[in-house]
Amino acid sequence: MHTEHSIETSAERQNRHKAMEAISVLNALKEDFKSPIHSMGYFYDLFEKVYCRHEPLHEGKAKIGTMCIQIPSEIIYALDAVPIRLCNGFYTDDEIGSDLLPQKSCPLVKATVGWFASDNFSDKPDITFSPTTCDQKTKAGTIIESFGHTVIDVGFPRTKESEESRHYWRESVKSFAVKLSKFQGKKLTRSNLESAIKKVGYAQSLYHKLTEFRKNKAVPILGVDMFLVTNAFFFDKIDAWIGAVEKLVAELEQRVSEGVNVAGKASPRIVYTGSPPIFPNYKIPLIIEQSDAIIVADETCSSNRMFNDMVAVDEWNLYDMIDSVSDKYLKACTCPIFTQNDDRIRRIIQLVRSYSADGVIYQAFAGCQVYEMEQRSVLAAMEREGIPTLYIESDYSPSQHGQLTTRVEAFIESLKNRKRMKR
Amino acid sequence: MRYFVGIDIGSTAIKISIADEDKNLVGHKISASGSMFYKYAQEALAELLRELGIDEKEVVYTVATGYGRKLFKEADENVSEITANAIGAQQAAKSYGNIKTIINIGGQDSKAISLDAEGNVVNFAMNDRCAAGTGKFLDVVAMNLEIGVDELSAYHFKSVGTPLSISSTCAVFAESEIIGLLGNNHSVEDIVSGVHYSIAKRIVKLVKRVGVKENVYFDGGPALNDGLVSAIENELGHKIFVPEYPQITTSYGAAVLACDAFLSESES
Amino acid sequence: MTKNKFTLRRAINNMNLVRFRFWFQIVAFVLIVYGGYVGLDLGDKLPTFACVYNGEGTGGKCYAGMLQHDLKHPIDMFMGYAGYAFLISLGMFMVWFWILNKGWCGFVCPLGTMQDWLTILREKTKIRYSEYSWANRGKIKSIKYILLILLLLLPVMIANSVFGLPKLPNGLSMPFCDICPGRMMIPAFTGHFNQFYIDFSSKTDLVMTTLGMIIVGLFLVGSFVKKRFFCYFCPMAALQHIFSKPALLKLYKDGAKCTKCGDCYRACDMDILEIADDVTSKNLVTEDCTLCLKCVAACPEEGCLEANFAGLSIFESTKEGFILRMAMDQHKENHAH
């Protein structure tokens, strides 16, 4: 019995591979844990829609691709466009990028470059802005341009303490605003920027509410679910995201009053930091939470950092609002591309204290020079503070699963032992 | 009339092909190997000859191949499956074109063979250590899903969701994964599709080791499964040729070899 | 998380500080500039500008005037009762000062209030404020100490021959009052514009009153373009800073909670870098600080900055307060996104 069938195009194959990666993570989130959250359904459906069925979300709107966290989304929203963070977590795209970048490169950059090379987007960016953060992201810009995309570099300083560097970034942002303005054919006004700042600020305030719940002894939401919610902000319609998170906050309040705990009583509380876990590369967070630990806080640019610092304006006029927006993205930024990293160390310690964490898991991508180099100072600081820390390297390939699981499980068991000893 | 017999004694099944002097396939038979495959092979051959109305004496040359070839002492010659498969493929696909790459998924192993322009084997790769990516795996899957192996194809094409990837590399562990998926109410269609893609990915990796060159030929029992064929084509990005009777390609090749051998001997 | 629980502490931490301070400053301004009309007299050792030239209206007098007067005594008198008078005045000043620390500058001082009003005017006209570069800011810090030294030294040199130098002319008797913009601006609010003049009677008077006119001009223009322009040069601030440590009202920072986001620095009228960049010190009342508490209101981290009175935290930074003050607590559907 012969069934007629046609062969997939390479774009279809790529989509299917990505869909398969995505669905397996989503299924793990939905099925592997106890006490599922009803409101998370919105997010599971959203990711399935975008990454499995490849449906576009932003038809008819200008889509502005951003290569890192530092491109101000407030300005993009003010100019009536949609910011889409392009940091990519797919192994499928990583493999494509592997042919185009040196072997030892960061998988995130490889995946992003691979994605652009395949030019297979459900919501294709009309223009992309790339801040000059780490070496690999910086050089990726021209490589991506060679595939026929428009990439604009936005100068980002490698130091942030000095007057010049702060001034430099403010000028960079102004220049970015001017270029985007021209591209959109719209002007930045007091009213639209104020609206955008307040809207993004409101979204951030919702995140703050969510994350407060994780300080409780009985944690009502998993770390992987939080990662999913924050990852959704990369590409979702902001109003829809806000609506969904409002419902999530309400449900979590309910769960807290009922004492619902998604972890076990003795589950060690973990602060997760390092190279950003971007959907579907949730390998390590999943391993952590499947090994009976709970991620209560994180210090990553794909999650906590997008929401932690809010724009503070003194005089609600255009000149001050733009500077406030610039400052937000630079001064508190803990990206390892900076020369000094004390802010990051202090932040991790503060998170450990305020979330009553038992340990820190510091994950660096193999090939991420800056996170790998920071390992020494961070680990030394953690040791001084008496905070048990695990350092692991990983990349996007599915083959390491066994080794990673062993290491993570051993660490979590040692944390459990410590807790028992303390009692 | 002179006839030539090719007998492929596999671990799962015995395949017999009979060719005439023009190397055309006259008849074939597939039967289970069982534990006493030597005895069953003889019985199967006798039965096939009876069905075709061919007298034993008309069989002038027999070539054995496959796992159990050396034990079939009645054969005039025995050859490796690689050689037999290569010849069988080229012969079976004569009208289609020049075969340069062969994918074979058997009951308990899988192979990839690369041929040069003249049809000689230049490279080959094999997975004979593990059941994952073989016919056995499909049997296990079908059993767990409580469907027939011959129904797998239909389920594959009915799948509308995303194929569910099976992450285990081992067939034994994959079984528990599948049971888990069923337990979480995932559809049989998506599971079947996922299994096919899991096998396809593995096979494509194997084939890429020998190099993919036009035209690609796919044989072995699992090649009857159109769903699997589609999955492999999608992973490969390439059309593949599946013969009418994919299980017997190797035995057919053995029969063709028998014909060549006899004719060259008689000329000398 | 107790959602709608009303507590006094929570209400205070969520308050709109800018509005609170605006009204507090108006009340203080009224008391200092018009209090005299209702018989209010807070004395003449106030740690804030309150002008003696305001005549009937003044509710008190600033210590700078008293100080200059106290020091204009020959040294032998100073060793006697004049010295005691000086110490008593100083003591009174310190007692007043220790209540609000530098908060006198941020919440009470009428000159400060005037500058804040000019800032509001500029903000309404959407003109950008100007900033000093960090290098320049460092350079001008010492000017207030120089003015303070002159304020202290000149009266002494009028009554005494210091290091064999001739005594200074009496026209310099209230040297700081001559150049203080308060002398011209505060009486103006009770309808007396007579202090805006140049005195040609003697060379000293000419120089000093001209300087005074220049300075009041600088005061008005400067504080229009630069927030609290005058406060950088204020000798009262210099004097207060010397006694600041034991004061009751303090600005405390918990550096561990600080993310160096710089929101406090952005809000600070005095552009004090340390408030943002210092994560080790506890007491952040620096020499330029006016304890206006704008930094506390602008800080988004829970419990990082706090206004502390005698060990009790009276106003601290909270996430909730920040969000409310930035009006980011609701979803407004003004723009379809």
Residue A80 Cα to chain centre, angstroms? 23
Q: Give the ipTM.
A: 0.90
Task: Give me the residues paired with residue A392 across strands.
Answer: A363
Q: Residue C329 and residue A192: Cβ atoms within 8 Å?
A: no
- Describe chain A by its helix, strand, coil percentages, rounded to 5: 55, 10, 35
Q: Among partner residues A7, A10, A27, which is closest to B233 by beta-carbon distance? A: A7
Question: What rounded mean pLDDT belongs to chain A?
Answer: 94
Q: Which long-range contacts (CB under 8 A, 24 or more apart) does C208-211 make?
A: C208/C171, C208/C172, C208/C175, C208/C178, C208/C179, C209/C178, C211/C178, C211/C179
Instruction: Look up residue A186 and give its DSSP letter.
Output: -
Angstrom distance (rounded) from CA C88 to CA A140:
72
List the one residue out of A144, A54, A45 whose CA is nearest residue A90: A54
User: What's the DSSP call for residue A235?
Assistant: T
What Cα–Cα distance (Å) separates residue B45 from each residue in B73, B88, C26? 14, 19, 112
Half-sphere exposure of A262 (CA within 13 A, CB side): 29
Residue with tokens 């041929």: B115
Per-residue tokens: C168: 């200074």
Chain B residues bordering chain A (beta-carbon distance below 8 Å): 153-154, 157, 161-165, 167, 181, 184, 186, 194, 197, 226-227, 229-230, 233-235, 237-239
Non-local (6+) Cβ contacts of B166 within 8 A are: B174, B177, B178, B194, B195, B198
Query: Cβ(B194)–Cβ(B202) under 8 Å?
Result: no
- Give the C-alpha separation, A175 to B145, whole Å: 61
- Cα(C117)–Cα(C294) distance, integer angstroms: 15
CA dihedral B131→B134→B136→B137, nearest 10 degrees, is 80
How far is the C-alpha of A288 from the C-alpha of A276, rounded, in Å?
15
A398 touches B: beta carbon within 8 Å: yes
Which residues of C are less than 8 Å from A196 in CB distance? Answer: 335
* Interface membership of A421 toward B (CB under 8 Å): no
Of the candidates B153, B162, B165, the beta carbon closest to that of A3 is on B153
Q: Which residues 193-252 on chain C approach chain A with CB closer than 8 angstroms?
A: none
Q: Are C144 and C133 in contact (CB under 8 A)?
A: no
10 Å CB burial of residue A200 (0-12, 13-18, 19+) is buried
B237–A8: do the CB atoms touch at under 8 Å? yes
Residue C332: what pLDDT? 64
Which of C253, C296, C305, C258 lies closest to A347 in space, CA to CA? Answer: C258
Cα A317 to Cα A311: distance, rounded to the nearest angstrom? 14
Q: Does A339 touch chain B (CB under 8 A)?
A: no
- Which of the residues in chain A have pLDDT under 70? 1
pTM of the shown model: 0.88
Residue C85: CB atoms within 10 A of its CB come to: 16
Touching chains, A (3+ CB pairs < 8 A): B, C
B237 vs A5: CB contact, 8 Å cut-off?
Answer: no
How many C-beta neighbours within 10 Å does residue A239 have? 15
What the block records as the tokens of A310 is: 């809010």
Contacts of A311 in chain C (CB under 8 A): 326
Cross-strand bridge partners of residue C46? C62
CA-based nearest distance A209→chain C, Å: 9
3-state helix vs strand vs coil in chain B, percent to 5: 50, 20, 30
Q: B234 and A12: CB-CB below 8 Å?
A: yes
Nearest residue to C166 (alpha-carbon basis) of C174, C158, C155: C158
Q: Let me know how long chain B is.
A: 268
Q: Could you tell me the sign of the dihedral formed by the alpha carbons of B133, B136, B139, B141, in that order?
A: negative
Contact map slice: A 10-39 vs B, CB within 8 A? 10, 12-13, 16, 19-24, 27, 30-31
What stretches of C160-199 show up as alpha helix (H) in DSSP?
A: 175-179, 181-188
The distance of Cα A411 from the centroid of its chain, to the nearest Å, equals: 24
Structure tokens at C311: 């060990």
- A/B touch flag: 3 or more CB pairs below 8 Å: yes
Choose among C266, C326, C335: nearest Cβ to A195: C335
Q: Do A331 and C300 touch (CB under 8 A)?
A: no
* Chain centre to alpha carbon of residue C161: 33
Mean pLDDT for each consecutive 10-residue tract of chain C (337 residues)? 69 92 95 90 89 86 88 82 87 92 94 95 92 91 91 85 78 81 90 85 85 92 94 93 93 94 93 94 94 95 94 94 90 49
Using a CB-CB distance cutoff of 8 angstroms, which residues of chain A are in contact with residue B197? 16, 20
Give which of A350, A338, A334 is closest to C255, Cα–Cα: A350
Instruction: Report pLDDT digits (tens) over C13-60.
Output: 999 999 999 999 999 999 999 998 998 888 888 999 988 888 888 888
Question: Please, what sign has the CA dihedral across residues A328, A330, A331, A334?
Answer: positive
**Neighbour tally for A240: CB within 10 Å:** 14
Q: Which of A212, A310, A316, A344 to mutate to test binding with chain C, by most C CBs within 10 Å of its CB? A: A310
Query: What is the C-alpha to C-alpha distance for residues A74 and A193, in angstroms, rounded to an integer?
Result: 7
What residues of chain B score a pLDDT lower than 70?
169, 268
Which residues of chain B have a CB within 8 Å of the CB of A21? 165
CA nearest A297: which of A336, A337, A350?
Answer: A350
pLDDT computed for residue B132 by the predictor: 73
Q: How many separate helices (H) and strands (E) can be counted in chain A? A: 16, 8
Name the residue facing A8 among B194, B229, B234 (closest C-beta): B234
- What percent helix, strand, coil does chain C show, rounded to 5? 55, 5, 40
Q: How many CB atoms lie within 10 A of CB B38?
A: 17
DSSP class of B130 = -
**Chain A interface, best mutation among C137, C305, C328, by max A CB count within 10 A:** C328
Judge: A3–B167 Cβ closer than 8 Å, yes or no. Answer: no
Q: Hey, which bits of B43-117 come out as E strands?
A: 59-65, 77-78, 101-105, 110-115
Say what the pLDDT of residue B257 is.
Answer: 92
User: Of B201, B132, B204, which Cα lies nearest the Cα of B165?
Assistant: B201
Q: Which of B151, B162, B236 should we substitute to test contact with A (largest number of A Cβ atoms within 10 Å)?
A: B162
What is residue A262's predicted lDDT score, i.e. its pLDDT? 94
Task: Give, in degrees to the nearest 5, the angle at Cα C90 between C87 and C91.
Answer: 85
C-alpha span between C77 and C58 (Å, rounded): 30
3-state secondary structure B213-252: CCCEEEECHHHHCHHHHHHHHHHHCCCEECCCCHHHHHHH
Within 8 A of B194 by CB-CB distance, chain A residues are 20
Given a contact cutoff of 8 angstroms between Cβ atoms, the answer to whether A287 and A405 are in contact is: yes
Q: Which of C259, C269, C317 best probes binding to A when mutated, by most A CB atoms within 10 angstroms?
A: C259
Which pLDDT does position C5 carry in this prediction? 65
Q: What residues of chain C, 271 to 300, have a C-beta less than 8 Å from chain A?
A: 276-277, 279, 294, 298, 300
Residues B156, B158, B162: CA angle, nearest 5 degrees = 75
Residue A20 is predicted with a pLDDT of 93
Phi-psi region of C299 (alpha: psi -120 to 50; beta: other; left: phi over 0): beta
Inter-chain residue contact A16 with B163, CB threshold 8 Å: yes
Q: What is the pLDDT of residue C336?
A: 36
pLDDT at B238: 87
Question: Which are the contacts of A136, defined by CB distance < 8 A and separation ≥ 6?
Answer: A101, A105, A106, A109, A367, A369
Q: Sort out which chain B residues have CB atoms less than 8 A from A30's CB and list them.
A: 184
Please calculate the CA angle B145-B148-B154 and round it to the nearest 5 degrees.
90
φ/ψ (deg, to 5) at C171: -60, -15
- Does the beta-carbon distance from B233 to A21 stay under 8 Å? no
Q: How far is A29 from A37, CA to CA, in rounded Å?
A: 11
Inspect the interface and report whether the beta carbons of A317 and C257 lie closer than 8 Å. Answer: no
Q: What is the DSSP letter of A233?
A: T
Q: Where are the domains of chain C?
A: 18-240, 248-336
Chain C residues close to A313, C-beta within 8 Å: 266, 326
Measured distance CA(B167)–CA(B38) in Å, rounded: 38
Within an 8 Å CB–CB cutoff, is residue A2 touching chain B?
yes
Residue in C3, C260, C298 closest to A343 by CB: C260
Sorted by sequence, the CB contacts under 8 Å of residue C323 that are 6+ apart come out as A201, A205, A208, A310, C300, C329
What CATH code would you report for C248-336? Answer: 3.30.70
Q: How far is B147 from chain A (nearest CA, A)?
A: 17
**Residue-wise pLDDT tens digits, C59-113:** 888 998 888 888 888 888 878 888 888 899 999 999 999 999 999 999 999 999 9
**Inter-chain CB proximity A20 and B157 less than 8 Å:** no
In angstroms, rounded to a whole number, what is the distance separating the alpha carbons of residues A182 and C16?
38
- How is residue A194 annotated by DSSP? H
Q: Are A210 and A233 in contact (CB under 8 A)?
A: no
Is the CB of A52 inside 8 Å of chain B's CB atoms?
yes
